[in-house]
Every structure is written in structure tokens, then in C-alpha cells.
Amino acid sequence: MSKNIAAAPVSVQFVEVTEDQDGQRIDNFLRTALKGVPKSLIYRIVRKGELRVNKKRVKPDYRVKPGDLVRIPPIRVSAPREDVPVKQGLADVLEAAVLYEDKDLIIINKPSGLAVHGGSGVSLGLIEALRQIRPEQRFLELVHRLDRDTSGCIMVAKKRSMLKFLHEGLRQKGRITKIYQALVVGRWSTRTHQVDAPLNKNELKSGERIVRVQPEGKPSITLFRVLRRFGMTATLVEAQPVTGRTHQIRVHAQFAGHPIIGDEKYGVDELNREMKALGIRRLFLHAAQLRLTLPNGERLRVEAPLELQLLAGLARLEETGSDGVEVQEGSNE
């Protein structure tokens, strides 16, 4: 059982990391421990070196080990707000969205529009909702994240050991494969199989976060495959991120000249408005499939169906006169 740390210590605290906290990133360790403390404050004390592990400064991606002594500086924050109660409708949606579950892992088909966790401007996210509707589950943690408007497969660990196992799998090539589907603008060429373009996160004066292709960015690769064409208007593609950067598929699609339909940050406003008339009123990006190896060696493949709104939008797109041609593997234009 994890040790509880006071939400707002007014004097320096020293906390020893326990076995069940092994492998957590230091920023996530603090976010879990310091309930009610803003993420920005946690990141600031790490960056400034006010937080120490074994008397040394550490980076936000440092992973704690049993026996580590964490020095937490004095923090003054307002009392945390009470949890927003989960409405029965959302609870029913999430229970119906469970694609796979065992004693260690849940995989959910996350609805579009639901953030994975609460934060600035978001009072209730997927993980907070799950903890409320599964009160008997003592441990529930996100394994990875999806953008708020992206739907599809997301993993939630029910044990610390599974969380650590899956985090290691995400860092090792080929252990975990994520397959997405996206509807993009225009006619994507079957010859464009890969986008290899470095990505850099930028923050605008407004505080909005935006990702751009820049030479000094982090190496980023996405594999693409054409699934179906709708004339010259749009193409349904499969996208497999080899690396896991913020907004990677969205920015790589834009960089290739085919932004994702419904993308208000990187897309084409005029075409987005036209697609809303066809019923596609959201970002058309869906985490369609997960392939992974479980700790017992079993290979697991989980698929999340497209929501009815997107399927209906594709049908209407076909009715407008686009060909709706399915493209065979390896076919040429």
C-alpha cells in the first residue's frame, strides 16, 4: 500500500519510496501523492531543483526505486475540491465500453470528448470516473494517454506490476503496437508509407500548446496505409506511430499534405465545416487496435469499433458521389 503524503505540506517532508511505487516517474509519483497540487507547481519544483531524490536533483522523467528518499519542499495550496460525482449515464457508457479485462488490466474504447484525466478546465476525466465506479479497485492508473477528442483503445492498469510491465513494453520496439484509423483530407497516395519528420512542442503566447515539424525536434516516425478512398475528397488511412510524440499522427498527416478531418488545431476549417454537414462533427482519429504480449506470454489483440456517428458520416460521404473504393494491400495508383 502506498504511503499517503499530506496534500499541502508547509514544511519540508522526506518520504521513502515503497516497493509498490517502484518504476513511477517522479512527476507522476508527486501528482499521485500530492492530491490537489497543480501540475504546473509540481513541474516547477522539479525543474528548479527544490525537490531532491537521495539529496540529488532529478529530471521529471526520473523513475523512483524502492528505498529512494524523496525531499518535498514546503508547498502551500488551497484545499483540494471534492470529486465531481460521476453521472449514471457516463458510468453506463464506460462499463459498456470495456473491450478487455482481467485481474491486472482493463482496455476501454474511450469516447471522443472525454479527457483521460482531470486538469485545467476539466473537472472529471476517464481515470477519475473509473475510480468512482470501481471503488473496490484499490489501484487504477492510466498506462498511456489519448487526446481528449481521440476515441478508441486505452489501457488502464489494475496493479503496479502491470503498469511497470506495460511502461517497459511501450519503451521497447515491437512489444506493444498501436493502430489508429483517421479520415484525412484529399487523396492519400499508396506510395506514402512512412512519414519521418522531427516534432517539437511549442507554446503560443496564449498558452496554447502546438506541435510543429522542426529540424531540432525529437525524431518521430509514423507508418501509414490507405484503407479506403472517397474520390479526391478524403481517404481513410491506418496510422501506426513508431514513436509516441504529442499529437504525432495529427501533425504528420498535416505535414504530408493531408490533415485529419475534424482537427480544429491542424486541420482545414472550410472542409471541417463541410464534413459537419455530413455528420462528422469531431476529430476523425480513432485508436482502433492494440496488440501486446501479456506477462504470461499470451499475445493479446483488442479492437475497438468506430462509433456510429463516424460510420454514418462515411456512408453519407459515399452518397455524395465519392467512390468509396477499398484499396487492396500493395495496390498501385
Residues paired with residue 209 on neighbouring β-strands, in sequence order: 203
- Asked if residue 16 lies in contact with residue 45, where contact means CB atoms within 8 angstroms, the answer is no
Is 147 an active-site residue?
yes
In a domain, 159, yes or no: yes
For residues 264 and 285, is the Cβ–Cβ distance under 8 A?
no
Condensed to tens digits (0 to 9), the pLDDT of residues 11-31 reads: 788 888 887 777 888 888 887
Q: Is residue 97 part of a domain?
A: yes
For the entire predicted model, the pTM comes to 0.78
Closest CA to 208 of 137, 150, 264: 264
Full residue range of the structural domain in which residue 300 is found: 88-320
Give the model confidence (pLDDT) of 26-72 as tens digits: 888 887 777 667 777 888 888 888 889 999 998 888 999 888 999 88
Which triple of cell numbers denotes residue 118?
Answer: 482531470
Give me the amino acid identity at 276. Answer: K
Averaged pLDDT, 161-169? 92
β-strands 221-230, 234-241 pairing:
antiparallel
Q: Domain boundary at 38, 72, 106, which?
A: 72
- The answer on 206 and 111 residing in a single domain is yes
Tell me, yes or no, whether 65 and 98 share the same domain.
Answer: no
My answer on whether 223 and 93 are in the same domain is yes
Q: Is the residue at 81 inside a domain?
A: no
Looking at the structure, tell me whether residues 123 and 186 fall in a common domain: yes
pLDDT of residue 9: 55
Q: How many domains does the chain have?
A: 2
The sign of the dihedral angle between the CA atoms of 39, 173, 250, 100 is negative
Q: 27, 68, 104, 147: which is the annotated catalytic residue?
A: 147
SS3 content of the chain, % helix, strand, coil (to 5): 25, 30, 50
Buried b (16+ CB within 10 A) or exposed e, 138-174: ebbbbbbbbbbbbbbbbbbbbbbebbbbbbebeeeee
- Asked whether residue 135 falls in the same domain as residue 60, the answer is no
The answer to whether residue 327 is domain-embedded is no
| Co-location of 62 and 103 in the same domain | no
Q: Is the pLDDT of residue 210 over 60?
A: yes
Answer yes or no: is pLDDT of 81 > 60: no
